């Protein structure tokens, strides 16, 4: 881990919130049997072959956002998809929410068309910006068919993926929330599974508390993690905060992805949350990106790499 | 024609004195949403006041009743520059929040 921490400019203390990039790229994830680890794209680790599973993560495309920070969110999403297409070994993709800015039908259409350009099976979870109209029915019908409330699971190449919805039940004064019904479903979903099976959980809002004052966490995430802690390899992938952060706690690796639309400030920044407004001209795409994830058989790692768009 | 107009004017003249005292001059209060906060977290108004929120952030917000679930009302998502107005005609304390960012909360006190 320390090697990886150094690579992404962290202080080397893997439990500290120092592993931070700004907004918007992709992460390369590899799943490999034990303690997850990551690698920047372009590094030797990221270039390693022989993996069992390689998939992509994109997040926070915010189609419909058009402010000076980024007047062309379809363009930056398309650029992210071009990065995805350049990785010929990825077998699927996840999108960790805020596909649109305002949940409008034309915004969902635009995002869907661009993302289909990757020609990869894509699994979605909603962000709070995707459920703004009609209790999210437009999102659920199109992006989580068969999962009317947006949570579901599937297996791919030996890895069990769990998609959670922590934006459907937010309470006044609270943060993200899973809710009792979803937690009961999760418990049932995990029952009988071998603890040696690698688990990847993905949801929009971080399932660890990044910064409570800004709501960057999930109120009942501890209950979900209690159900998941027996698994030897657990990787939690989130979006929402538009910047890369990583934390490892025991056998759990948490990672948040960059946005493809705009960066947000670091937690506690006096500017408050929201789009960073003073991005220097020409620098935006260096703050946006996609994530690659891969599983390497016979190694104790899930490798993650974030790639910026420029 | 003239007779009809005259009758209409007469009707108006009869109706107006009835209506004006019964409906006090509409009172308006405007406030903003900025930097992920309701700028006036506590707004005190008299009954009959319409409160209007205007979003000055680059991110949408809502004004949603904190009386649920389910909330008794929720504004449409307010994009930058959008406004939401609500009439408060009965005394009481009315809490609300942003359903996208539930850490954002406010109160309207109606006297």
pLDDT, tens digit (0-9, with 9 covering 90-100), for A151-163: 999 999 889 999 9
Chain A residue numbers touching B62 (CB-CB < 8 A) = 132
Residue A90: closest CA among A238, A290, A310: A290
Exposure of A156 by Cβ count < 10 A (0-12 exposed, 13-18 middle, 19+ buried)?
A: middle
Average pLDDT across chain A, whole number: 85
Contact B59 A102 (CB under 8 A): no
Contact B36 A67 (CB under 8 A): no
Chain B residue numbers touching A126 (CB-CB < 8 A) = none
Contact A213 B103 (CB under 8 A): yes
Chain A residue numbers touching B102 (CB-CB < 8 A) = 170-175, 215
Asked: is B25-110 a CATH 2.60.40.420 domain? The reply is yes
> Across A157-244, where does the E strand assignment appear?
159-163, 199-202, 234-238
* Region of A136 on the Ramachandran plot (φ > 0 left; ψ -120 to 50 alpha; else beta): left
A14 part of a folded domain: no
For residues B63 and B51, the answer to whether their CB atoms sit within 8 Å is no
A8 part of a folded domain: no
* CB environment B32-50: b (16+ within 10 A), e (fewer): bbeebbbebeebebeeebe
Q: Which residue has the higher pLDDT, B24 or A255?
A: A255
Domain of A276, CATH number, reads 3.60.21.10
> Residue A7: what pLDDT?
33
Residue B108: closest CA among B24, B52, B26: B52
Per the structure, how many domains does chain A have? 1
For residues B65 and B77, the answer to whether their CB atoms sit within 8 Å is no
> Residue A27: what pLDDT?
54
Contact A67 B105 (CB under 8 A): no
- ipTM of the complex, rounded to two decimals: 0.81
What A141-148 contacts at long range (C-beta under 8 Å, 24+ apart), as own/partner pairs, is A142/A108, A142/A112, A143/A95, A143/A99, A143/A108
Candidate from B60, B66, B103 with C-beta closest to A214:
B103
The reply to whether omega before B70 is within 30° of 0 (cis) is yes
Contact A102 B66 (CB under 8 A): no
Give me the residue spans of the domains in chain B.
Answer: 25-110
Contact A170 B60 (CB under 8 A): no
Note down the domain range covering A292: 20-308
Q: How far apart are CA A69 and CA A53, in angstroms?
A: 35
Tell me the whole-structure pTM to 2 decimals. Answer: 0.84
Candidate from B35, B79, B99 with C-beta closest to A272:
B35
Chain B residue closest to A166 (CA)?
Answer: B100
Candidate from A172, A175, A272 with C-beta closest to B66:
A172
> Residue A13: what pLDDT?
33
């Amino acid at each position: 881990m320390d090697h990886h921490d150094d690579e992404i400019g962290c202080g080397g203390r893997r439990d500290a919130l120092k592993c931070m990039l700004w907004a918007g790229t992709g992460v390369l994830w590899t799943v490999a049997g034990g303690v997850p680890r990551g690698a920047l794209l372009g590094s030797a680790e990221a270039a390693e072959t022989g993996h069992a599973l390689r998939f992509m993560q994109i997040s926070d495309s915010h189609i419909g956002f058009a402010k000076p920070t980024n007047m062309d969110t379809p363009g930056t999403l398309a650029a992210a998809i071009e990065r995805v297409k350049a990785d010929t070994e990825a077998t699927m993709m996840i999108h960790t929410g805020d596909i649109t800015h305002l949940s409008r039908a034309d915004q969902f259409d635009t995002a869907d068309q661009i993302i289909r350009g990757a020609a990869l099976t894509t699994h979605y979870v909603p962000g709070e910006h995707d459920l703004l109209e009609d209790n999210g029915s437009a999102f659920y019908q199109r992006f989580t068919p068969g999962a009317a409330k947006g949570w579901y699971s599937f297996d791919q190449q030996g890895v069990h993926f769990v998609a959670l919805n922590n934006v459907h039940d937010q309470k006044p004064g609270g943060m993200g929330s899973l809710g009792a019904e979803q937690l009961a479903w999760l418990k049932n979903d995990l029952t009988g599974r071998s603890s040696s099976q690698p688990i990847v959980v993905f949801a929009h809002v971080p399932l660890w508390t990044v910064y409570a004052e800004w709501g960057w966490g999930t109120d009942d995430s501890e209950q979900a993690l209690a159900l998941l802690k027996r698994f030897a390899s657990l990787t939690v992938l989130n979006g929402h905060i538009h910047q890369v952060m990583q934390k490892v706690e025991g056998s759990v690796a948490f990672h948040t992805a960059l946005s493809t639309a705009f960066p947000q400030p670091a937690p506690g920044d006096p500017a408050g949350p929201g789009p960073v407004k003073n991005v220097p001209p020409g620098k935006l795409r260096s703050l946006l990106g996609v994530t690659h994830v891969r599983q390497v058989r016979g190694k104790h790692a899930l490798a993650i790499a974030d790639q910026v768009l420029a | 024609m003239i007779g009809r107009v005259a009758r209409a004017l007469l009707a108006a003249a009869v109706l107006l004195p009835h209506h004006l005292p019964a409906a006090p001059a509409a009172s308006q209060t405007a406030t903003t949403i900025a930097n992920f906060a309701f700028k006036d977290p506590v707004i005190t108004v008299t009954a009959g006041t319409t409160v209007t929120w205007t979003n000055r952030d680059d991110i949408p917000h809502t004004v949603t009743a904190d009386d649920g679930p389910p909330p008794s009302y929720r504004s449409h998502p307010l994009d930058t520059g959008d406004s939401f107005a609500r009439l408060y005609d009965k005394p009481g304390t009315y809490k609300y929040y942003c359903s996208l960012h539930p850490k954002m909360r406010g109160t309207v006190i109606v006297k």
